[in-house]
């Protein structure tokens, strides 16, 4: 299933994490297990939005295509069509990069 065929629910956002850059320090290659999770990604899809206590839909503050900074431990990692993505709540997005 491709990301274009996936629609998150409620206030969830589908984010494609940016590629991890291999870090080499003094000739030592850091193994994948020791690398930190990327904290930057691109918004690929938005859910339908959160509903407030009065039944009104709250619009997203991010849009598809935005590059965002995400919480280090936020979201659930999923694989769609051999690509890794994160599904997270909009609250786990810390900010938009490059406005």
**Average pLDDT in the 69-85 region?**
88
The span from the CA of 82 to the CA of 64, in Å, is 21
> 96 phi and psi, to 5 degrees?
-100, 135
Find all residues with CB under 8 Å of 57, minimum gap 6, and list them. 48, 49, 50, 51
Phi-psi region of 61 (alpha: psi -120 to 50; beta: other; left: phi over 0): alpha
* Residue range 4-45, pLDDT digits in tens: 688 899 999 999 998 765 555 566 666 655 556 658 999 999
CATH of region 3-19+30-97, choose from 2.30.33.40, 3.50.50.60, 2.30.30.90, 3.40.50.300: 2.30.33.40
* Residue range 51-76, pLDDT digits in tens: 999 999 999 999 999 999 998 888 89
pLDDT at 86 over 90: yes
């Amino acid at each position: 299933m491709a990301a274009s065929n996936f629609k998150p629910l409620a206030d969830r956002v589908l984010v494609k994490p940016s590629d991890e850059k291999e870090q080499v320090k003094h000739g030592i290659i850091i193994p994948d297990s020791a690398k930190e999770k990327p904290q930057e990604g691109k918004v690929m899809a938005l859910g339908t939005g959160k509903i407030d206590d009065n039944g009104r839909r709250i619009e997203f503050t991010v849009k598809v295509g935005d590059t965002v900074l995400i919480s280090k431990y936020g979201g659930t990692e999923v694989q769609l069509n051999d690509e890794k993505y994160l599904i997270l709540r909009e609250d786990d997005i810390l900010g938009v990069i490059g406005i």
